[in-house]
Amino acid sequence: MRVRNIQSEDYTAIHSVLNEWWGGRNMADMLPKLFFIHFQETSFVMEEDGEIVGFLCGFLSQTHPDEAYVHFIGVDPKYRRKGIASTLYSYFFDVARANNRHTVKAVTSLVNKKSIQFHQEFGFEIEAGDSEVDGVSVHTNYDGNGESRVLFVKKV
C-alpha cells in the first residue's frame, strides 16, 4: 500500500463509494470537490494496487494559526482495522507540524460511534460543545441547521 497526496481526479472514485462505505448513509453531500482541488497538500489517499482504500481531507486553518483541521477521513470497510486511518493521520500530523501547527481538530457525527471510539483510542479528546446528547458533548448546528457534530482535539 502507498500513500500519496489527493488529486482532483480522485473525487469521482471516492465520491462514488462514499455512501457505500458508510453503510448507506448519505455522506457524499458532505464532501465537496473543493477539498480535492484546494487542499491537495494537506489531503491524502492510500492505495492498494491502484485502488483507493482510504482517504483524509484536511487543511491548515487560516483563522487559527496553531490549528489544522480534518474534515473527513474514510476507509473502505474491507480494509478497516489495518492501520490505514492511523497512517493517513500520521501524514497529516507531519504536514501540520512542518507548518508549525500543534493542534489538530477533527469532526464526526454523533451516530458514528466507531469514529468516536477510533478518535479517542488514537489520542483525540472530545472538545466541549454547547450541548450534550447521550452523554457526548456536541456542537449544535456545526455542519448546518440541525447538523450537530462531535469535535475532537489533539496536540501534535
Q: Following DSSP, what letter does each residue of 54-89 receive, concatenated?
A: EEEEEEE-SSSTTEEEEEEEEE-GGGTTSSHHHHHH
Look at residues 50, 49, 122 and name the one whose alpha carbon lies nearest to residue 92: 122
Which residues have C-beta within 8 Å of that of residue 38, sequence separation ≥ 6? Answer: 59
Q: Which domains does the chain have, with CATH numbers?
A: 2-155 (3.40.630.30)
Model's pTM, two decimal places?
A: 0.92
> By three-state DSSP, how is residue 9 classified?
coil
Please report, in tens digits, the pLDDT of each residue of the chain (156 residues total).
Answer: 999 999 999 999 999 999 999 888 888 888 889 999 999 999 999 999 999 999 999 999 999 999 999 999 999 999 999 999 999 999 999 999 999 999 999 999 988 899 999 999 999 999 999 999 989 999 999 877 878 899 999 999
